[in-house]
Each structure stands twice: as C-alpha cells, then as structure tokens.
Structure 1
Amino acid sequence: MTLHISSTPSGRFEAWKACLGVLGIPFLDVVRVLAAVLLLGNVTFIEGQGLEVDIQGGSHELKSVAALLGVSSAALYRGLTTRTHNVRGQLVKSMCDANMSNMTRDALAKALYCRTVATIVRRANSLKRLGSTSGTLSSDSNESVHHQGEVASQHASTVGTAGSKASKSMSVLNNAVKHATDGFIGILDMFGFEDPKPSHLEHLCINLCAETMQHFYNTHIFKSSIESCRDEGITCEVEVDYVDNVPCIDLISSLRTGLLSMLDVEGSVRGTPESYIQKVKVQHKGNGRLFEPKANHIRSFGIHHFANRVIYDASDFLDTNRDIISDDLVCVFHKQSCNFGFATHLFGSELKALFSQDPVPRGVSFRISPTSHTDLQNGDEPVSTLTQDFHTRLDNLLRTLVHAKPHFIRCLRSNCSEKPGHFDRATVIKQIRALQVLETVNLMAGGYPHRMRFKTFTLRYRLLVPFKKLRRVEDKTVDDCKLILEYFVRSLEDVSRSSTVAIQWALGKRHIFLSEGARQQLEMLRIEMRHRAATLLQAVWRGWHFRRRWPTLKRNLELRARSRTVRPRPQPIAGTPPPDVMDRCDQKTIQQTCSLFGLDLERPPPVPPSRSYTITGNHKMGYPQTRVMKRKFPEEGGGDSVLLKGESVVVVGASSRRGHLLVDHQGHSFHVPFQYMELKPSAQPGVNI
C-alpha cells in the first residue's frame, strides 16, 4: 500500500487514519484516548470544604473523560482522589489533597498517551516480523485482552500457529530472517539541546543525551584520530583543540555520585527536594560544571553544558523520577468496570498482575510507561525509575553506535523564534562554536581523519594497479600498499595542478592514514576504474552473444530476401505416371475447352492465389490464427529467433512457399511448414461449410 502524504493538515490526518487501518488498530479507539488526554487537562482539583477535593468549574469535564474511557465518572473520581496504603499488613485508604490529585491526573494522561504510542509501535513491529498472523484490536470485547497468553498481553496482536510443526518451522524461518537482516541502515534523529525556563528532570535527561552524543562525536572524530596518529608515530601538523565534555557527563550520570544516581537514592529514602539539593552541593562542591543560580533558590541548581548554562528546578524531580501510577487508578480499567476494550488493553500487564491475587487494590504502584510482566514490581514499588530506564536506553543506543559506521549531519537552527526565512547571526555562530564545526572542518582539511588497515586498503584499492604486479601475500601487504600509492601519484599529476585540496597520506605501524582529499581522489579513481571494467565486460559479452546469434540471423535475413522475389512456377510432382493413351482427349475437345475458358495452349494456367482461410473439419477459419508448435523450428537453429515446442504462435497468413504458413512471433516472421503446428484445443471462430 502506497500512501501519498499531503502537505495540508486534513491530508495528513487522512494519511494517519489510513496507516492505523493498515496496522489493524481502530481509528476511533485511538481518537477516544487522545480526546480523553486533552480533556484531562481541563480537570483541575481544588481543596473542598470537607475531606474530599472539589473539581473547579464542575464535574462535566470529568464525566466526558469517563465516557470516552468507558468507565463511570464516580469510579474515575475515586481512582484519582483516593490512595490505598499497606501499613504493616493492614490496608488503609486515604483521601488525596488537591496537589496529589492533580499529580495523579497528570500521571493518568501520561500513561494513556505513552501506552497508546507504544501499542502502535509494537503493532507495526509485529507486522514486520515474518510469519505473524495479526488480528485487529477491537473495542467491542475484552476477550482479546484478558484471555491471551503473556505474549499477547505485551503486544497489540494475536499470533497463532497451526500445530507444533508449523510453529517449529516458523520459528526456524524467523531465526533465519533475523540472522539475514543483522546488517541495517539506521537514522538517529537527535532532539536538540533544551533550555526552557524553568528546566525540569525531563530536560536534564534530554541534555544528558545531547552531551553523550557530543562526546561520541568528539571521540569518533577528534580523539580517535589524534590518538591513533600519536600511537603509530605519525606527525600531524594540524592541532585540534576540542572541548572534552566528559566531566559534565560524569557529573550527571556517574554510577555513585552522579546527579541521577543520587536522585534514585533520595527517592528510595523518601527524601525532599531540599535535602537532595543540599547533598548535591556537598558532594560536588569543587566541580566547575556545577554552579549556583544568582537567585539562590533552595530547590534549583545550574549546570554548565557544552552548549549553554542551564538552571534546573528540582521541585518535581523526585515525583517525576518515581514515574508511578497507583493501583487504585489502574483497577478502574478492569473489564468488569470498563467497557472500552482498548483502554483495558493499555493496562493489560498491570491488570493481570494486580488481579492475580486478592485483595484489589492493595497499595501497590506501577510504572507510567508500559513494562513487561517480569519488570512490573519489586515488592510494592516498580523495579526501575525513570532515570534508570533512560540510562538503559542510552546505553543500548551507544552500544549500537559503537559497532556501526556512523556518518554525521549537523543541523543548525537559523533563529530562536522559529521564523521562516530569518537568519540570526549570533544564534548560528553560537551553535557552530558549541558543535565545534570549525574544528571538524580544520581536521578534515589538513589532518588525517581517515585510517585503514593495510589489508583493508589493499583489498579496496588494488584494482588501481595491474593484477600481475601485486604480491597478494600476507607478509607483503605493506609493499602492495606502497605500489598502489605509486600508481595513485601518477594518476594525480593533472589533478594536483588544478586542485587546492590537501592530498596527503602516511604509513603507520598497522594503518595507513589518509587526508580527506586523498580519500576522495582514491574513491573517484576506484569508481572510474570499475566503470571502465564494467564497460569492457559488457562489450566482450555483447560481441560473443551477437556472434553466437549471427548464423540464425543470417538465415532469417536470407529467408526474408527470398520471400520478396516473384513466386516461381510450380514443378510437376516427381514420379507421376504419364496418362493412359485411352484417357487422352482428342485435339478438337482441347481446343474447344481452351477457347471456352480463355486459355493458351502454349502457356500453362496461372497458379491460383493463396486462400485467406484454412479448412478444419467443416469450418473455414480465417487469419490470424493461434497455433501451438508441435516441434522446434528451425530444428538446427539457436539464439533468440527459435520457435520452441509447445510455444503458442500467431499465424498471419499463407506463405509464398508451398505447404508453409507465415508466422509472426516477437517481431520476427517465419515460414513454417503446416505439419510443425496444430490448432489450439480451444474453439476459434469459424464459418460452417
């Protein structure tokens, strides 16, 4: 299915709707969840007269949210405003204040949104896997959610197999496809540096990712090039002075003393934002990357990032890091109290773990983001926190990048106000300096940014040298590299005069170091040599192929030349006995017959013209006709101009040769004896005689 994405909002909306249909996800179910998320923002809890909290502006917004999610408004209100606690084995239910209720409301909105997105992603990935027979998620029934296995509750599809043999064979096929697709091309679209006012925990995680990617860029481009040249005794004239941001990364993500690790510890001991900030300042008192804001707020701190200085407000750090949703709210979406199957499916893993034992609710917490059954809980709390999950995903990303061959594309923002066609010089210069673009250009222009093993270099560029001159021995790899470079220098005599790009290289202990200009010229010569070799191969093959076909082509040309000449006079059939003397007519009868029909005794009558039809049984069949070859024609012929046995051909008329029919096949004409062909079994139009 091919979708043409429109540039208009309505066109993009229709394209998104069609994509959900391809995935088998009901469009209206997703719209109901998104509408509920938007309306939740209008629900604001305020302190009431008694123990319960009130809803600002009335409860009509809450009733609309409850109707969209398929639950009663009373049950949703209880889930948002009450909390069950397990105190020494006794369950105690308490009322939440307005602040806690609003935080629970935000947690529900985040859970609905991120779980909907995760369901769509998992659904798309399950359809990509070979052999998955996926159904459609439906809001009419909860059976597909509560009566499937563990795998079905984690994925938004039902995967079935027909018996153990089919399951085993499909498993083998899936493993084969997995190993066959280990190599991939990935695009990492990095979010930019975040500096809002104020900045929260989410922005700290985003900036940590930006710092890590910048460090990976520095290591891949600058540090590895400089250290490799130093280790192998190569002198590089270019001095690259880049900013190392490892201290900033250690400040945030160090295992024991990092800001995120200390945040996890503070959350486990039920600390406060003030105690967290105080411990951070004591631990990192002499760290130059950490600074105190001028306002000297007790809940804020500042970090000097590679791109800018950012001030963070830690008031919500602890609550955001817990990233939890109470079981009082999760149990509202059980199938007994919720008639919206898609919403029940979003909390399928949590509901299965929650209702596996009594009582419900019992004072446990779950993660806002979707988790598997094995990672749901550690006692009454989730196994991991928001920052721990972020660390895990960031480590997996780095592990993938380390084993890949990355190419970097630097994108610059033209202005801070996001105005089209407006170029702010100060904003662009700040980004260029922060991303160290000038240092990168300097290294590429005058240094050795590329290095290759001797064997790898020889295998890639050995076609630049005549094959017989290469040693092709493991011990002589360096000699082959020098020979390749000699021929490379000869080919660059004309290029060097007209080009200003530095073309230089150096041989190290294990690698050959190349400048950017040398690498580009080597690649251009390699492409040119491969192109010439491909042209030569094509020319040789085409000549051989034409010479092989020439006898058949020559014979066909001669046959065509003969068919254009005058039809010869028919000869008498050899072996015909002379007529009996008694059967001969007298001369007078012959003369009368000739004069009657206008014939000349000295010249035989002309041959009658070819018929425009053939007779089969009692039917006249006109041309063209479709016939089937009974044998190969010509029998000794080869090449493309051959009619094979069993092949269907089109007879366009009678041939000028006696007993032959004229066949037109693939742009060629053939004079084929009628014994070589037979009519197709299917009935063809004809006229009864």
Structure 2
Amino acid sequence: MGAVGMLEADQNDVLQALSAVLLLAQLVFAQDADDHAIIDAQSSETLQHVAELLGPESCDELSGALCTRRLVTRDDVVTVPLTLEQARDSRDALGKSIYGKLFSWLVDRCNDKLVDEDAASAFIGILDIFGFESFKVNSFEQLCINYANERLQQQFNWDVFKSEQAEYESEGIEWQYIDFIDNQECLDLIDRKDQMGILHLLDEECAIQKGSDENLAQKVRDRHAKHAYFAAPKLERSSFIVKHYAGNVTYLAAGFREKNKDALHPDLSVLMQGSQSPFVRALFPVDVAPVVSPSGKMPRKGKGGKSADRMTVASQFIMQLASLMRTINETDVHYVRCIKPNKANKPQIFEMSHSALQLRCAGVLEAVRISRMAYPNRMPHSAFIRRYVLLTDKDWQATHGVALSKAR
C-alpha cells in the first residue's frame, strides 16, 4: 500500500477493518433457553476486539445487531430474536459486506494514485472469476457463479465462432460452416424477464411476505417443466436441475430467498453508519434514511426507506454482469481457458477423459478447428498497400493514387 502512496493512517484503517473481518469469522454463537441465538461466552473477548475495531457504541449494540432484528410495525418497533443459523448468516453477511467494500475502496485508491490524467482512454483489464462449480449441495452462490460462466461462454462463442464466421460471409470468402453449441436458451432459462427466468421467479418470491423456498422450487418446476435446459428430480421436491454447457447441476432451493434479499440487514448497516471510526463510516455511506435508527426510534413519515425498495442480490448481479459484457464487447479480447486435470483435486494426476470432456464442453475443440481452417494472417488494407506497393507497376500506382496517399 505504501508503494502506491497510501498514507500510513489509511493503511492502519485498512488493516483494522481486515482484522475485524477475520475476527468476525471466529465469533461463536450459542442458544439460550428459548433456542434464541446469543454470543457464546467463550467468544466474549473476540466480540470485544471486533467492537473496538468497528467502533459501535458498545459490545451490547454489536451483539444485539448480530442476534436480533428490529422490525417496524405501524405503531411500534419490534425486536425479533434470531435463530442460531440466522445469527451465523448475519455475522457472515457483515464480514462479507465489510470485505467487499474494503476491496472496492482499495481498488479506487490504487486507481486514484496510479491514474495518469493525460493518458489515453485505452486500458488493459484482466477478468478472473470463479470457474464452473458443481458440488454435492449447490445453492444460490453456485447458481450465480455458473450463470456468470454461462454468460462468458456465450461471449466466447461470439468472439470465436459467430463473429469469425460472419466476417468470412461478409467478405464473400468460401467457408465451411462449423457447428457449435449456442447456450442462449440456457441463459434465457436463468435471466430472461419476459419468460420469468429462475432469477426473476426468485425476486418475485422474495417480494411476497409469506414466500418460501419451497414455493420457489415449485414455481420454477411448474414454469420451466418443458424447457430443454431444465429438469426436476422426482424425489427431491425442493431442488431443480439446470443443464449448463459444462454439465448438469442440481440446485437446492433452501436458503435462496434469504441469500437473495439485501446482502446486509439494515440494522447492521445502520450500526456501521453510526460507527465512531470515520473509516468504517466512509465504507457505509448513508444512501437513504434508515428503517430504524440506532437508538431504536422509528423515522418520521416520508423519511424511511422500505426494505422492498432495496435491490435484490440477483437483480444487482444481472445488472453488473450486463455492464461487464458491454465493457468486454468494446475491447479486443483474449481468452485463457483453464481446465481441472482430475476430479480428486490432487497434483501430478492427469485424467485424459475428464480433461477432454471439459475442453469439449467449453468449445475449445471447435475453436481449434475454426482456427485451423481460418486464414491466419490479417492486416488492414492500408498496411497491405504499404507493404506490397513495390510489387505493382507505375500504371497501377497512378490509377490508385488516392489509396496510396491514404496508406502513407
């Protein structure tokens, strides 16, 4: 951080926030006599350290935000205890939110220090995301990751196959068309709004007060039962299968709604916005008036934001991915395809059949075919003229003088 000119005070703030994230992961919850979540007695010291780093008014305030939720009714504010699982999710959501905001802050600071005001608009970017995932239990995270991979696979198909073959057709060059798997239908299954793709059905279920993961799974099954890229397990009613380009993945709907709602509960956002640490407050800017103030008071009429107004994780992800695709479409793209050499995740083991399957699913074999059949050398007309004009006679040069002057 010092190498990019970051002040020592800023470096200390970053390290403190990162320490808080690491310590949050060490917090252990227990249950009281009513099966409500509480901070385990053995984690009281860890809680104290986290509070010192994040700057709430007290440990009790942090503990309350992690173990309870305050709900606004028409006339009052009701405190609702969380279950053990909900408290763990709350803790994890806070850690992820701090880490994500800290990462963005660091990127912005590095860009500010490294940017050249006189530089051209050209840039070099590296996109590195999670690869395709398929586990014994796949949840909302895996659907988002695999959706991103589907979208990038479509971009790969366009860059390598569609645009290449379209260029040959436009130039009138004889060409033997190469078939490839177009995954547009799979993408429609996931994100197409007018067909109520899976992510839009999820948003719809999240907007229903009495919605449930079970209802979501049933709606997905009913809506897409006949879709070519969809399947439904007969025994497990709360799951569904998406036939991705890299293979079939079974998703368990349990937890989808909770994970798709705002990544961080308003109580925790308000707590961070009221931190005694200026750095933490800067990470959590106040966009709208809080649903409940840190003191527990209800906001005045017309000032409070409704939780339903917040964008879901799925809708944000769709927008961010669309923005990424627009950026990629404006650049000259080069691909590095990575494969998993074996299913055991062990070194020095190469399974040929497993590797070949990945190459086939990713379209690499077809890409090799199209590269082998294509013309390897390309250059603009102006560069071609400059290079080979010496081979022409004076009559040609006289006839094409305009082209020559432009080329030079």
Bin for the TM-score computed over the shorter chain: 0.7 to 0.9
Query: Aligned equivalents of 1:47 and 1:358: distance in 2?
Result: 27
Contact kept in structure 1, 2:270 and 2:293, CA below 8 Å:
no
Query: Aligned equivalents of 2:336 and 2:163: distance in 1?
Result: 19
- TM-score when normalising by structure 1: 0.52
Contact kept in structure 1, 2:47 and 2:59, CA below 8 Å:
yes
Distance 1:229 1:463, change over 3 A: closer
Q: How many residues align?
A: 394
Contact kept in structure 2, 1:83 and 1:363, CA below 8 Å:
no
Select the residue among 128, 136, 155 that pairs with 1:197: 136
Distance 1:359 1:222, change over 3 A: closer
RMSD: 3.2
Q: Which amino acid aligns with 1:109?
A: G
Is structure 2 residue 346 aligned with structure 1 residue 346? no
Q: Give the match's secondary structure for 2:6.
A: helix
Query: Aligned equivalents of 2:219 and 2:60: distance in 1?
Result: 43
Query: Aligned equivalents of 1:301 and 1:435: distance in 2?
Result: 23
Distance 1:347 1:187, change over 3 A: closer
Query: Aligned equivalents of 1:59 and 1:321: distance in 2?
Result: 29
Partner of 1:65 in structure 2? 50
Contact kept in structure 2, 1:200 and 1:317, CA below 8 Å:
yes
State the 1:448 CA deviation.
5.1
Partner of 1:245 in structure 2? 183
Is structure 2 residue 366 aligned with structure 1 residue 439? yes
Is structure 2 residue 342 aligned with structure 1 residue 402? no
Distance 1:235 1:52, change over 3 A: closer
Provide structure 2 residue ranges, at least 5 long, that are not aligned to the other structure. Answer: none
State the 1:429 CA deviation.
0.9
Q: Counterparts of 1:431-510 in structure 2 under 5 Å?
A: 431-447=358-374, 456-466=380-390, 468=394, 469-470=396-397, 471-472=399-400
Q: Which amino acid aligns with 2:285?
A: G
Distance 1:460 1:405, change over 3 A: farther
Kindly name which structure, 1 or 2, has the bigger radius of gyration based on alpha carbons. Answer: 1
Query: Aligned equivalents of 1:55 and 1:459: distance in 2?
Result: 71
Is structure 2 residue 39 aligned with structure 1 residue 55? yes
Partner of 1:278 in structure 2? 218
Distance 1:24 1:298, change over 3 A: farther
State the 1:201 CA deviation.
1.4
State the 1:232 CA deviation.
5.7
Query: Aligned equivalents of 1:334 and 1:393: distance in 2?
Result: 25
State the 1:417 CA deviation.
3.8
State the 1:343 CA deviation.
2.6
State the 1:310 CA deviation.
1.0
State the 1:286 CA deviation.
0.6
Q: Give the match's secondary structure for 1:125.
A: helix
Query: Aligned equivalents of 2:298 and 2:354: distance in 1?
Result: 51
Distance 1:20 1:320, change over 3 A: farther
- TM-score when normalising by structure 2: 0.84
Q: Which amino acid aligns with 2:179?
A: D
Query: Aligned equivalents of 2:269 and 2:158: distance in 1?
Result: 45
Contact kept in structure 2, 1:248 and 1:305, CA below 8 Å:
yes
Partner of 1:120 in structure 2? 106
Is structure 2 residue 255 aligned with structure 1 residue 255? no
Q: Which amino acid aligns with 1:253?
A: D
Partner of 1:564 in structure 2? none
Higher strand share: 1
Contact kept in structure 2, 1:354 and 1:360, CA below 8 Å:
no
Contact kept in structure 2, 1:290 and 1:304, CA below 8 Å:
yes
Q: Counterparts of 1:267-666 in structure 2 under 5 Å?
A: 267-270=206-209, 271-293=211-233, 296-333=235-272, 338-349=275-286, 353-354=289-290, 360-361=295-296, 379-447=306-374, 456-466=380-390, 468=394, 469-470=396-397, 471-472=399-400
Q: Which amino acid aligns with 1:463?
A: R
Distance 1:327 1:245, change over 3 A: closer
For residues 622-667 of structure 1, what are the alpha-carbon distances to aligned partners after superposition, in whole Å with 9 as ceiling and x for unaligned?
A: xxxxxxxxxxxxxxxxxxxxxxxxxxxxxxxxxxxxxxxxxxxxxx
Query: Aligned equivalents of 1:282 and 1:225: distance in 2?
Result: 39
Contact kept in structure 1, 2:289 and 2:304, CA below 8 Å:
no
Query: Aligned equivalents of 1:450 and 1:305: distance in 2?
Result: 35
State the 1:186 CA deviation.
2.5
Contact kept in structure 2, 1:326 and 1:363, CA below 8 Å:
no
Partner of 1:669 in structure 2? none
Distance 1:330 1:249, change over 3 A: closer
Query: Aligned equivalents of 1:212 and 1:25: distance in 2?
Result: 41
Query: Aligned equivalents of 2:298 and 2:59: distance in 1?
Result: 22
Higher helix share: 2
State the 1:409 CA deviation.
2.7
